[in-house]
């Protein structure tokens, strides 16, 4: 059901855990399964210098977040913002359709961490990121109401 790459990331997750002093935090909730995920970033000189994450999600969520953390590390904020939902699943050799919503969680959490960093530092926020943020917040609220 899972590709060998998904399993490999699940067994050896990269960058897992909370960062000590992140300057951006993204928290998202999955409206389909109710799972929650956090991505922590430390931005230096406009680049993602460090990244960490925690998830209550499933194997697919762990693998996709591990993969997205590798893709995002070292990228400028602009390039990291372009990492989208489909990139993650396709890098991993595809996911079973029933698990696609899990990979969306990782991309959303990354975008949300970047949003958090930009807004805390009063930096301009691109329209797309603002739209993502509003949707993510709505979804998170609906998930948290269920717990
Ligand atoms: Fe919830 Fe995969 S089932 S993140």
pLDDT for position 147: 61
Question: In whole angstroms, what separates CA 98 from the centre of its chain?
Answer: 19
The CATH T-level fold of domain 4-146 is Sufe protein. Chain: A (3.90.1010)
φ/ψ of residue 18, rounded to 5: -85, 145
Output the pLDDT for position 100: 80
- Ligand 1 closest atom vs CA 99: 2
Q: Is the CB of 32 under 6 A from ligand 1?
A: no
Could you identify the atom of ligand 1 that is nearest to the CA of residue 55? Answer: 4
Locate 75 and state its tokens: 């990228």
Q: What is the mean pLDDT of the chain?
A: 91
Which pTM does this prediction carry?
A: 0.93
Nearest to 141 by CA among 58, 26, 7, 28: 28
- What is the pLDDT, as a whole number, of residue 86? 77
**Regions of the chain where pLDDT drops below 70:** 147
What confidence score (pLDDT) does residue 91 get? Answer: 77
| Residues recognised as catalytic | 33, 102
Domain positions in the chain are 4-146
Per-residue pLDDT at 57: 86
CA end-to-end span of the chain: 30
């Amino acid at each position: 059901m899972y590709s060998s790459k998904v399993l490999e990331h699940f067994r050896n997750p990269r960058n897992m855990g909370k960062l000590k002093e992140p300057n951006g935090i993204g928290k998202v909730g999955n409206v389909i399964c109710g799972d929650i995920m956090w991505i922590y970033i430390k931005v230096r000189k406009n680049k993602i210098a460090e990244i960490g994450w925690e998830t209550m999600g499933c194997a697919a969520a762990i693998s996709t977040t591990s993969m997205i953390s590798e893709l995002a590390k070292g990228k400028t904020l602009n390039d990291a913002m372009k990492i989208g939902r489909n990139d993650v699943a396709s890098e991993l050799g595809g996911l079973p359709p029933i698990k696609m919503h899990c990979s969306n969680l990782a991309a959303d959490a990354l975008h949300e961490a970047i949003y958090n960093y930009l807004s805390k530092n009063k930096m301009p926020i691109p329209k797309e990121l603002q739209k993502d943020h509003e949707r993510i917040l709505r979804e998170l609220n609906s998930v948290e109401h269920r717990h």
